[in-house]
């Protein structure tokens, strides 16, 4: 498995609302508090049996259909080449975001 996984989604909701919901969805997906780094929303997962942890980075930008959300899950440890959790982290985030907004989160 790769050291990172990225995906973009389109959400039919105002970008400001999506940004606030994304902040909470990162915390839901990681089990840790989210933090802001400029316009990016960041979060980290804990160390587990299958990983030394991952860093999630989310960006929300306006789109003609509402908002475009880009998320990346990357290994926290630069020397970790195999990680099976990145796609799961992105999927958890998408489910949490859709649940918080009450609208579908569609791959872009």
pLDDT for position 1: 53
Per-domain boundaries in the chain: 4-107
DSSP letters for 12-76: SS-HHHHHHHHHHHHHHHHSS--EEETTEEEEEPPPBTTBS-EEEEEEEEEETTEEEEEEEEEES
pLDDT for position 18: 97
pLDDT tens per residue, the chain (108 residues)?
578 899 999 999 999 999 999 999 999 999 999 999 999 999 999 988 777 899 999 999 999 999 999 999 999 988 777 778 899 999 999 999 999 999 989 898
The fold of 4-107 is: Alpha-D-Glucose-1,6-Bisphosphate; Chain A, domain 4 (3.30.530)
pLDDT for position 51: 79
> Which residue, among 21, 6, 28, has the nearest Cα to 73 in the 3D structure?
6
- 3-state secondary structure at position 1: coil
pLDDT for position 69: 98
Q: What tokens were used for 74?
A: 């990357």
Half-sphere exposure of 63 (CA within 13 A, CB side): 19
pLDDT for position 57: 98
**Roughly what angle, to the nearest 10 degrees, separates helices 86-101 and 15-30?**
130
Only one residue has tokens 């959300």, namely 69
| pTM exceeds cut of 0.85 | yes
pLDDT for position 84: 80
């Amino acid at each position: 498995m790769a050291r990172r996984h990225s995906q973009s989604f389109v959400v039919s909701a105002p970008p400001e609302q999506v940004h606030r919901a994304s902040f909470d969805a990162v915390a839901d997906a990681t089990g840790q508090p989210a933090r802001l780094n400029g316009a990016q929303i960041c979060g980290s997962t804990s160390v587990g049996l299958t990983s030394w942890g991952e860093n999630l980075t989310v960006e929300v930008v306006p789109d003609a259909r509402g908002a475009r959300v880009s998320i990346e899950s990357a290994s926290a440890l630069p020397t970790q080449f195999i990680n099976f959790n990145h796609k799961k982290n992105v999927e958890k985030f998408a489910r949490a975001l859709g649940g918080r907004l009450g609208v579908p989160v569609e791959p872009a």
